[in-house]
Structure formats: C-alpha cells, structure tokens
C-alpha cells in the first residue's frame, strides 16, 4: 500500500485509518513540484517540474530500487528472511535503502565500500544495523565488488548480491511505478524527461513506460517523449557510447550517484534522445540555487539534472513544453561533500553574541542567574 493511494473516508462502513505499518509502505508516490523560482531569469521557454524522490523514507530514488530487488529475489525464492545475508558493493543510497529494508524484513546486510567514503554514510548504515566492510582506496569500486564476491563465496547459498547495475528489477520498478506516477500526475502532459544516469534504471524504466515497450507489452503513451540523460562532463562515457566526443579533461567527478564509470547493463541507450554533460562545479552551483531559490534541500545530482533541463528547455523548440526532472535525493546527506566546505567553515566560525543586559535566568524559573 502506497501513501497517496490511501483514501480518506470509509471502507465497507468502517473508517479507514491513514496510518501505515512499515517504512516500505512509504516508498513511491512522490510529489511533483514546479521549479519556477530556480529556472526564473535563466531563459527557460518551457516549464520545469521536479519529481521529489528526495521525500522517500530514506530520502532517495534508491528506496524504490531496494524494494524492487528484494521483492523480485523473494518472488524467485532466492532469499529468505532470517537466513540470507544481503551483500552489495555500495556506499551510496542503494546501500542505505537495502539497510533499512533488511531491518524491516529480517535480513542481515553487509555493504562493502572504499575507505574514502564519508563517515556520515558509515554512520547511517551502522545505525540501521548493517555491517560495513571497508576496502582499500586504491582499488575504488572494483575492489569493493571483489570483496562483496569474496563474502558471498564464504556464505555460499546464504549470501545474495542484488547487483543494481545488472538487475532487471531496477528498470522494472521505474517502468511500473515512477513512470506511471509521472504520467498520472502530469495528466499525460509531460513532453521532456530529465534523469541523471547512475545505473540507468530510472531513465530506462520511465522512458519504457511513456514511450512504450514491445518487450514489456506496453503501448506507447507518448512515443515522441524527449528523454534526456545527464552525465558528469568529467566522465562522458554515455556521450561517447552514442558516438559523440568528450569535452575537456576526463577523470573523477563530484556528482555522487551519477557517472559510475561504466555503461551499465540495465541502461537502454536507445531510449535516450540526448545526453547532456554537466560539470561538477555547475552542478554544485545549481544545487545551491535550488536550496536558496526554492527553499528545497536537494543533493548534488539534482543540481546537475536541473542544469541540463535549463539548457534544453531554453531552446526555442521547447517553448511551452513541460519538462519533468528527477530530484534524486535529499540535501542533508551531503554535508561532508566539498559543496558545503565554505558553509561548514562559516557555521563553525560563528561567534556567540552578547545578550541584552541585565539578563537573569531566574526570571525564567531557573535556580541561578547564569549557568
Ligand atoms: N542521483 C543520485 C543521488 C543517485 O543515488 C542515483 C542512483 N545511483 C542517481 C542520481 C541515478 O539514478 P539511476 O541509478 O537510476 O540511473
């Protein structure tokens, strides 16, 4: 049961309480919001709407994915609560989604990740009862994958790696929930869809639902939906995979969740009409703009996606068109990201201010004047 599907009123003569009983019931049916303030003055000719995946129970688009991968594995009898240990090489939002769902459903959960990942994330995972195994920074994500495989080997049949980059349950959940929600909530008025590409699950699943997919028995709802995939400008693998040229120096980027350094297996590149590269600096600036102009705390990848949307929707052919962009995650998870360096310095450097004198705590019922 999903939150917005619940109805207020009576069911069979009894009052139906709008109270859910577990966190996974809070997944999905995320709201849409016009992003008029952040796009104002930037030459946008259409109108941009954000789909706030940041408002899920663990605050990211990965909540749906975690649920879908576990539902599918349970359906196929691959995992059993109380017996199976879930293992995934991820520091990111997928790890957090798997960790909370593992608690809810009674699985053990081990996340492997390079030692460079922030303490903030380790805290989040450990507090949710997951085990965190660190791997050497020199071996990056492949090292974490090798460690996950080693743990799985040791556990034999009791270990299960969901493998978000290869798991068909990834695009499936977006084809069956995210896409239909966008279609329903825009009353079919969406013209352009913007998504950052990490695993490619979101962009593939949503586009399959709206453009149609023979393979999945889906008639086109709007065959000419224009799908835009966003990738870091420092790592233009999708642009190259589509026959384009990389711009500038290629290397590490700062847009967590996007640009995984490979062309993922679950991504259907043929559904993407255009790949827009966005530099990490530009993503961070736009992210801050979303916080300040809209008053909406979002993660860095939302900055990249909105930047791409502004570029595309500023072209004359998009006059009056509706663009929907994914807002993948909530902003508070990123306070250790370089984006917040200056703000952190400012916050830590704040000095206390003198009170209006005379001041006496006893006026407020305290035992002493001060302290
Ligand atoms: N942004 C963030 C913050 C994410 O965690 C993800 C998921 N990795 C994405 C964007 C991209 O989504 P997808 O994996 O479905 O391509």
Per residue in 149-169, pLDDT (tens digit) is 999 999 999 999 999 999 999
Is 207 part of any domain?
A: yes
Whether residue 22 has pLDDT greater than 60: yes
Give the model confidence (pLDDT) of 220-231 as tens digits: 999 999 999 999
DSSP string, 128-183: TT-EEEEE-GGGHHHHHHHHHHHHHHHHGGGEE---TTT-THHHHHIIIIIHHHHH
Cα of 22 from ligand 1 centre, angstroms:
24
Can you give the pTM of this predicted structure?
0.94
User: 205 with 315, same domain?
Assistant: yes
Same domain, 131 and 153: yes
Task: For residue 274, tell me if it sits in a domain.
Answer: yes
**Is any ligand 1 atom within 6 A of the Cβ of residue 301?**
yes
pLDDT, residue 13, reads: 61
Angle at 78 between CA 74 and CA 83, to 5 degrees: 90
Same-domain status, 213 and 285: yes
Q: pLDDT tens digits, residue range 110-123?
A: 999 988 877 888 99
The two structure tokens encoding residue 168 = 């068909």
| Whether residue 198 sits in one domain with residue 82 | no
Catalytic positions: 62, 301
Residue 144 in domain: yes
The predicted pLDDT at position 371 comes to 74
- The whole-number pLDDT of residue 8 equals 41
Domain count, the chain: 2
3-state SS, residue 239: helix
Q: Provide the 10 A C-beta neighbour count for residue 33.
A: 15
Query: Could you tell me the residue range of the domain that residue 82 belongs to?
Result: 62-160
Residue 234 domain flag:
yes
* Average pLDDT rounded to a whole number, residues 182-200: 98
Query: Do both 134 and 280 map to the same domain?
Result: no
In a domain, residue 2? The reply is no
Instruction: Indicate whether 18 and 51 sit together in one domain.
Output: yes
Same domain flag for 186 and 223: yes
Evaluate whether residue 335 is within a structural domain: yes
Q: Which of 114-123, 166-175, 180-189, 191-200 has the lowest mean pLDDT?
A: 114-123
Q: Is the CB of residue 59 below 6 angstroms from any atom belonging to ligand 1?
A: no
What is the spatial distance between Cα 250 and Cα 188, in angstroms, rounded to a whole number? 38
Residues 133 and 276 placed together within one structural domain of the fold:
no
61 lines ligand 1 (CB under 6 A): yes
Residue 291 DSSP one-character state: I
65, 69, 179, 199: residue to mutate for ligand 1 pocket, most atoms within 8 A of CB: 199
Rounded to an integer, the average pLDDT of 38-42 is 97
pLDDT confidence of residue 80: 98
Q: Is a pLDDT exceeding 60 seen at residue 12?
A: no
Whether 205 and 334 share a structural domain: yes
Q: Whose CA is nearest to atom 10 of ligand 1?
A: 257
Q: Which of 112-116, 147-151, 208-212, 271-275 has the lowest mean pLDDT?
A: 112-116
No. of H helices and E strands in the chain? 12, 12
Q: Cβ neighbours of residue 197 under 8 Å, at least 6 residues apart?
A: 203, 229, 230, 231, 238, 258, 259, 264, 267
Ligand 1 centroid to residue 227 C-alpha, Å: 16
Compute, in degrees rounded to 10, the torsion defined by CA atoms 218, 220, 223, 225. Answer: -70
Task: Please determine, for residue 237, whether its predicted confidence score (pLDDT) is greater than 80.
Answer: yes
Of all residues in the chain, the percent with pLDDT exceeding 90 is 88
The average confidence (pLDDT) of the chain is 94
Of the residues 142, 160, 178, the one at which a domain ends:
160
Does residue 43 sit within a domain? yes
What pLDDT score does 2 carry? 47
Helix (H, G, I), strand (E, B) or coil at 289: helix
In a domain, 29, yes or no: yes
Q: Is the pLDDT of residue 175 over 70?
A: yes
Kindly indicate the confidence band of residue 14, based on its pLDDT and cuts at 50, 70 and 90: low
CATH number of the domain at 315, please.
Answer: 3.40.50.1100
- Let me know whether 145 and 26 are in one domain: no
If you measure from the C-alpha of residue 171 to the centroid of ligand 1, how many angstroms do you get, rounded to a whole number?
Answer: 12
Please state the φ and ψ torsions of residue 288, each to the nearest 5 degrees: -65, -35
Using the 3D structure, point to which of 120, 137, 160 is the last residue of a domain: 160
Kindly give the distance from the C-alpha atom of residue 327 to the centroid of ligand 1, in angstroms, as a whole number: 9
Does residue 68 have its Cβ closer than 6 Å to ligand 1?
Answer: no
Q: How far apart are the first and last CA of the chain?
A: 51
Q: Is 50 exceeded by the pLDDT of residue 7?
A: no
In this structure, the residue with its CA closest to atom 6 of ligand 1 is 257
| pLDDT value at 199 more than 90 | yes
**How many C-alpha atoms does 139 have within 13 Å on its Cβ side?**
13
Q: Are residues 221 and 247 in the same domain?
A: yes
Give the mutation target among 51, 196, 265, 302 for probing the ligand 1 site: most ligand atoms within 8 A of CB. 196
Ligand 1 contacts CB of residue 91 (under 6 A): no
Tell me the C-alpha distance between 116 and 179, whole Å.
35
Distance of CA 8 from the midpoint of ligand 1 (Å):
33
- Testing ligand 1's pocket by substitution, the residue of 68, 257, 305 carrying the most ligand atoms inside 8 A of its CB is 257
Pocket flag, ligand 1, residue 307 (CB < 6 Å): no
What separation in Å is there between the alpha carbon of 66 and the centre of ligand 1? 12
- Mean pLDDT over 291-318 rounds to 98
More confident residue, 139 or 231: 231
Quick one: which atom of ligand 1 is closest to the CA of 301? 1
Mean pLDDT (whole number) for 176-187: 98
Whether 277 and 247 share a structural domain: yes
* Lowest mean pLDDT, pick from 2-11, 33-42, 69-78, 294-303: 2-11
């Amino acid at each position: 049961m999903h939150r917005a599907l619940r109805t207020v009123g009576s069911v069979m003569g009894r009052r139906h309480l709008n109270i859910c009983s577990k966190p996974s019931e809070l997944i999905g049916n995320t709201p849409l919001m016009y992003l008029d303030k952040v796009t104002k003055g930037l030459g946008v000719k259409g109108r941009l709407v954000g789909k706030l995946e940041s408002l899920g129970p663990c605050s990211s688009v990965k909540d749906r994915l975690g649920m879908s991968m576990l539902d599918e594995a349970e359906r196929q009898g691959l995992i059993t609560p109380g017996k199976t240990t879930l293992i995934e090489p991820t520091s990111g939002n997928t790890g957090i989604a798997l960790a909370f769902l593992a608690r809810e459903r009674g699985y053990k959960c081990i996340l492997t990740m390079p030692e460079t990942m922030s303490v903030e994330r380790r805290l989040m995972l450990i507090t949710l009862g997951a085990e965190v195994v660190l791997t050497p920074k020199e071996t990056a994500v492949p090292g974490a994958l090798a460690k996950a495989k080693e743990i799985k080997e040791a556990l034999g049949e009791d270990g299960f790696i969901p493998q978000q980059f290869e798991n068909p349950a990834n695009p499936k959940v977006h084809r069956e929930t995210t896409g239909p929600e966008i279609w329903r909530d825009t009353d079919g008025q969406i013209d352009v869809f913007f998504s950052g590409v990490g695993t490619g699950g979101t962009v593939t699943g949503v586009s399959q639902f709206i453009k149609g997919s023979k393979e999945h028995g889906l008639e086109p709802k709007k065959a000419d939906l224009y799908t835009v995939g966003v990738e870091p400008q420092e790592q233009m693998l999708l642009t190259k995979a589509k026959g384009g040229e990389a711009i500038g120096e290629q290397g590490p980027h700062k847009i967590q969740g996007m640009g995984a350094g490979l062309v993922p297996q679950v991504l259907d590149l043929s559904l993407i009409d255009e790949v827009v590269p966005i530099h990490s600096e530009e993503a961070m600036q736009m992210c801050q703009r979303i916080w300040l102009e809209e008053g909406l705390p979002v993660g860095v990848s939302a900055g990249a996606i909105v930047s791409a949307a502004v570029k595309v929707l500023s072209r004359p052919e998009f006059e009056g068109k509706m663009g929907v962009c994914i807002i993948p995650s909530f902003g508070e998870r990123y306070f250790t990201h370089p984006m917040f360096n200056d703000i952190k310095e400012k916050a830590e450097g704040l000095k206390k201010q003198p009170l209006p004198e005379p001041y006496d705590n006893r006026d407020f019922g305290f035992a002493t004047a001060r302290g």
